[in-house]
Structure 1
């Protein structure tokens, strides 16, 4: 009998224990909830009490406390809002860029393009392009059936034009030889253009004196900006070379850009329909698709690289600067102001276009912006991959050249040795001195 009543008693004890545990758990939840609510209420009241009073501009304000939250300026990756320029420095930068943007518009003159086609040996250019195009296609098919060739036919046309221009058509001028005795000359400064030189588009004329004691003749070297005049003179330095060559690329039917660099150099970009992207072309160096030539090759630091076309302007610095060590300070204008200037030039050049053309160009801009962002991401990824355990332990990074950079590790080829050295463009070992800037 005694054993019979013990089981119900034990079962009742278990029920009481479970009920007690449930009640204690519920009480704990209520206490925790009340505590959290009190903390939130306390924080909210402190935030309201610490809110600044309406500012009285007539009385000095106490300095912010050390515990104040960081300003928005410390936050990164916030999209920029375009801001119109107001200060004198930004306005000068805007006026300069608007003036530079006029260069590609001049190449849309049908008479100029017709004259350019008369100068170009079209049969030679198109013959070389056809041959190279077939070779590239055969190489692609030999690797894999249906594989796309590295470059298209129109790309090969520009590549053939590049070789002809560099090797046969245009000549480089450092110091023009004396026209009397053909002796070397020495630069003596800048002089005003004569009326006929100014009429042909020369705003600047460099003066040189013959180095021969018995001659002492003076030579003038006008710096022409008119591509039509350059078709006759066929000589100059970076500015003349890029101006004339880019116009010739336009004449053979390519979309072109004229790229201005704040560190005193200019070059060309040609749109490849085959690759659906803009391709770097430097006719002075006979360089094709080597955007890292100036940083990894010449050892320069670049701040602004701006591509101008008849359709607008684009900041393409990220195509040519892939590493922070090659980035120079961008201090011509605040970035928000610079963005506004780019948008304004683009809107000005596209104002008379049809809605379809604007939509197409907007798609091109978006695709290029994605490409430029990918350049930065790729550079970061390569730097991370190249980290060694020793770098992590020693908290330092050992720079290693990737394969893309190794293609461009030569110094400058155009110009004489002294001129290249004065500009700091001799290669990886040079030390660039901003005071030694020779006009391009």
Structure 2
């Protein structure tokens, strides 16, 4: 045999078949991996938007993979607070900062001492003790470890609410004539006198006696000083919320003053027992009925902002559980600007607090934020649970089931005379009632 042919045969015979198979396998894996990475990079670059239908009869421009994603993909990203820039947002900011000063007026020790002198404390505490014991007994009857519905301090506020509504404060629509005690008719707004302005009246409503022979004019100052309201003991929801919130502060509770953009105000009291803020409306003697205004009065709401000595919070979601049905458009400022204003007021109120107090309040804010988000989630879940298969097929809604979490005994407004309530659209006869601003009597 030729030696030149024997050498290649010996070399091929020396190659290990297993080693060759391993090398080929590794090369195949590398090629496959490179191909998959190329496909993934191509898919990720084109994932920002779905391909639009192409007209193959006309030339198309080359795809641009650097275009920003659509708004639809960004709308659920958390808002970043943004300082107001336009004039409308600046006006809203100044108004909210002005409203946030209301709870600061209730921190005057002399005012709180004067308030306690006006409250029958023995009666209030006796009623609270009795109710607290009843609630505790009811909880124990349900089994060991059960928690009472409300704590003792909550019962104190509930007793104070009953006394304030039934005994202490009086609702005023049109003041009676001081000469003949006949009804009066509103004729407009007038300038406050020096003594009225000194007592905190920024405006005065003017009324004329309905009896022609009398014709006397009555002045109705809208006092904004809680100390003066302890003496006058009358007014509409602005005076009621002001005086009642101050009394809640006097008996030791943390309070909020809630401003509503649709001409109403009320109170929130912090329940240590429940570890949350509780809705309280002194005008309606309502306790923990946040859906009163939408499901009861038939109102639509845009803004509900709560102010306390510790800061501010947008609590609209507590009172508007079904945005599609009861929400009004929020146009006074962008949502990111409102978030900035809330942070600004909180920082201002907590500037001189200790780190421990700030940490405690931040924890409360986080719990409340979870609570408010929970209302939105519950509302969405309720909407989804009402959808039927035939609704999807027919493209329409035939919902007949009621919301199991909806309040069962909410009615229209009770404070004020019937004509005034009807003019404001708060009689609760229709959930679609919408207030006419021309008929709105000042709160």
TM-score normalized with structure 1 length: 0.85
Separation in 2 of the partners of 1:34 and 1:275?
A: 59
SS in 2 for 1:347: helix
* Cα deviation, residue 438, structure 1: 2.0
Q: Which runs of 5+ in 2 are unaligned?
A: 1-20, 48-62
Separation in 1 of the partners of 2:388 and 2:39?
A: 47
Task: Give the structure 1 partner of residue 428 of structure 2.
Answer: 427
Query: Structure 2 vs 1, CA of residues 28 and 395 (structure 1 numbering), >3 Å: closer, same or farther?
Result: farther
| 8 Å Cα contact 2:304-2:316 kept in structure 1 | yes
1:120 counterpart = 2:157? no
SS in 2 for 1:208: strand
Task: Out of 428-437 and 105-114, give the one that drifted further.
Answer: 428-437
1:43-71 Cα shifts (integer Å, max 9, x gaps): 99999xxxxxxxxxxxxxxxx99x96543
* Cα deviation, residue 145, structure 1: 2.2
Query: Structure 2 vs 1, CA of residues 155 and 41 (structure 1 numbering), >3 Å: closer, same or farther?
Result: closer
Tell me which of 434, 437, 440 is aligned to 1:437: 440
* Cα deviation, residue 384, structure 1: 2.2
Separation in 2 of the partners of 1:419 and 1:392?
A: 43
Task: Give the structure 1 partner of residue 363 of structure 2.
Answer: 363
Task: Give the structure 1 partner of residue 385 of structure 2.
Answer: 385
Separation in 2 of the partners of 1:86 and 1:42?
A: 41
Task: Give the structure 2 partner of residue 343 of structure 1.
Answer: 343
* Cα deviation, residue 434, structure 1: 3.7
| 8 Å Cα contact 1:296-1:428 kept in structure 2 | no
Query: Structure 2 vs 1, CA of residues 300 and 34 (structure 1 numbering), >3 Å: closer, same or farther?
Result: same
TM-score normalized with structure 2 length: 0.85
| 8 Å Cα contact 1:175-1:208 kept in structure 2 | yes
Separation in 2 of the partners of 1:318 and 1:45?
A: 38
Separation in 1 of the partners of 2:345 and 2:151?
A: 31
Query: Structure 2 vs 1, CA of residues 357 and 32 (structure 1 numbering), >3 Å: closer, same or farther?
Result: closer
* Cα deviation, residue 80, structure 1: 1.0
* Cα deviation, residue 33, structure 1: 6.2
Alignment of 1:233-252 (within 5 A): 233-252=232-251
Task: Out of 112-121 and 81-90, give the one that drifted further.
Answer: 81-90
Separation in 1 of the partners of 2:37 and 2:352?
A: 62
Alignment of 1:196-345 (within 5 A): 196-324=195-323, 325-345=325-345
| 8 Å Cα contact 1:262-1:303 kept in structure 2 | yes
Query: Structure 2 vs 1, CA of residues 22 and 93 (structure 1 numbering), >3 Å: closer, same or farther?
Result: same
1:177-228 Cα shifts (integer Å, max 9, x gaps): 1111111111111111000000000001101111101011111110000000
Query: Structure 2 vs 1, CA of residues 292 and 28 (structure 1 numbering), >3 Å: closer, same or farther?
Result: same
* Cα deviation, residue 390, structure 1: 3.5
| 8 Å Cα contact 1:290-1:407 kept in structure 2 | no
* Cα deviation, residue 417, structure 1: 1.1
1:66-124 Cα shifts (integer Å, max 9, x gaps): x9654347522211111111211011000000000000000000000000000000010
1:140-190 Cα shifts (integer Å, max 9, x gaps): 111212311100110000000000000000000001111111111111111
| 8 Å Cα contact 1:82-1:339 kept in structure 2 | yes
Separation in 2 of the partners of 1:188 and 1:97?
A: 30
Query: Structure 2 vs 1, CA of residues 40 and 366 (structure 1 numbering), >3 Å: closer, same or farther?
Result: closer
Q: Which runs of 5+ in 1 are unaligned?
A: 1-20, 48-63
Alignment of 1:58-73 (within 5 A): 70-72=69-71
SS in 2 for 1:406: coil
1:275-312 Cα shifts (integer Å, max 9, x gaps): 11100000100000000001111111111111000000
SS in 2 for 1:405: coil
Task: Give the structure 2 partner of residue 352 of structure 1.
Answer: 352
Aligned residue pair count = 407
Task: Give the structure 1 partner of residue 167 of structure 2.
Answer: 168
* Cα deviation, residue 36, structure 1: 5.6
Query: Structure 2 vs 1, CA of residues 252 and 193 (structure 1 numbering), >3 Å: closer, same or farther?
Result: same
1:139 counterpart = 2:141? no
